[in-house]
Amino acid sequence: MTVQMNTGTDMTDANAFRSEVRAWLEDNCPLSQRQPIVREEQIWAGKRRQFPSEDAQRWFEAMCDRGWTAPEWPTEYGGGGLSPEQARILQQEMTRLHCRPPLYDMGLWMLGPALLEFGNEQQKATHLPRIVRGEARWAQGYSEPGAGSDLASLKTRADDCGDHFLVNGTKIWTTRADVADWIFCLVRTDPNVPKQQGISFLLIDMESEGVSTAPIKLISGESEFCQTFFDNVKVPKENLVGTLNGGWAVAKELLKHERKLMGTMEAITEKVDVGIVDLAHEYADINAHGEVADSSLRMAMVNHLMNDAAMQHLNERLYYQHKAGAPDPRLGMLIKHIGTKELQSKDEVILKILGADGLSWDNPSAKPEVHRMVRNWAYDKAHTIAGGTSEIQLNIIAKRALGLAD
């Protein structure tokens, strides 16, 4: 069955829209794509894009054809043209059916929304449709050695050479820059003004002469972060987003989306499809009443479940504020800090439940899902650093949300 879908703002009946979405997903999302995602089967955008199966490709193409990889983006740029309420219904129905995310890309999560606000028509028409269809993979060029949480201290410079900029410098923690097709970068274009006023936002082709990368090996065994070097890289002037020296405004808009993403990482990352209660019944000691015998572990589980529910309510509150056109900016500041801390808290509870198995790193006798849970524990430590360290986030919350003095 193929359902003909009304996807514009003329769809006012939420219940009817939900029914149509549900029918379409049932018809177009293969059963194999309704399983927990594993890292090896994530579909990342780009020229090197690979599909782990025919079902994965079918699901990806179906969502792209609807524009539902970017459901709220305008249809003229390949998006779905959905209202925020319709996009929320789509996400709810995908969650209900356990549909896998059809596409992964920083262009989708962060650059696209910034381009919609600050990009010119040529930039939108050139890049947004390719992002929607996963044809280009993007990396983020923000942090530098000595300019991480204090991002405005960046030193990578872009000299004006008439019809192009000449970029020199280095970026660090550039996620998968070694396989990216493009990178969006903050660069110093005027060193003689206050540091936040002399920054511009550039789009750089990773195949440009003078661009190179060096992967950074992590404790988890992964090497998805890189250091990226720019040595006399020519960047056309048309790749400047926003105004010259106005990149800080673009950066702040993009960081809002990054921090929101960081606060909800569990929704799109690999995880073992088992709740902590079921996990405890498999690995922990259970008393005669069917309860976890260790009272301290039981309390840690309860605390996590309560905090997780509170986090969901916080996201709901922020959504309805946006829908009403009156978002509280203080909530956005909290999402990243609370969400990443709670993700790490869950990892700690899982290791407590696993007991001795939680010490397994590459023990061949341990189950693969145990290896994933332990490696996720190590990997998730990065979330309270990426997008602004927790210490910096707390300072921002203290000053801007609580109004406390320095």
Nearest Cα to Cα of residue 325 among 24, 84, 11, 34: 84
SS3 content of the chain, % helix, strand, coil (to 5): 50, 15, 35
In contact, 199 and 142? CB cutoff 8 Å: no
Q: What is the 3-state secondary structure (H, E, C) of 82-113?
A: CCHHHHHHHHHHHHHHCCCCCCECHHHHHHHH
Residue labelled with tokens 């789509």: 90
Token code pair at residue 78: 């390949």
Backbone angles phi, psi at 240, to 5 degrees: -85, 120
Six-digit token pair at 404?
């406390």
Q: Which residue has the tokens 């923690």?
A: 173
Q: What is the DSSP letter of 399?
A: I
Write the CA distances from 258 to 105, 227, 265, integer angstroms: 12, 19, 10
Q: What is the 3-state secondary structure (H, E, C) of 319-368?
A: HHHHHCCCCCHHHHHHHHHHHHHHHHHHHHHHHHHHHHHHHCCCCCCCCH
Query: Of these residues, 144, 258, 266, 342, which one is catalytic?
Result: 258
Catalytic: 258?
A: yes
Buried b (16+ CB within 10 A) or exposed e, 234-260: ebeeebbbbebebbbbbbebbbbbbbb
Please give the positions annotated as active site.
258
